[in-house]
Amino acid sequence: MTIQSTSDKLVEMRLTAMSDAFRNQINDSKMKDVSFEDRFGMLVDIEYNNRKNNSLCDGDIPWMSV
């Protein structure tokens, strides 16, 4: 599987933050020394945090609702 194919599938699954982070990891030479588990965990954390931040911005804060 190519990097482009993997990135395209992530975007298709609406995991755009993970796709961007994956591309950043691929291009960062320092990431070659990081274990798969740590790199994967970073990708999941980035996607998770992005979704949490977006849900807060979408009015999911009860005291900010009008």
Domain ranges of the chain: 7-60
Residue 37 has a pLDDT of: 98
pLDDT (tens digit, 9 = 90+) per residue, 5-62? 999 999 999 999 999 999 999 999 999 999 999 999 999 999 999 999 988 776 655 5
Residue 52 has a pLDDT of: 93
DSSP 29: G
pTM greater than 0.85 (yes/no): no
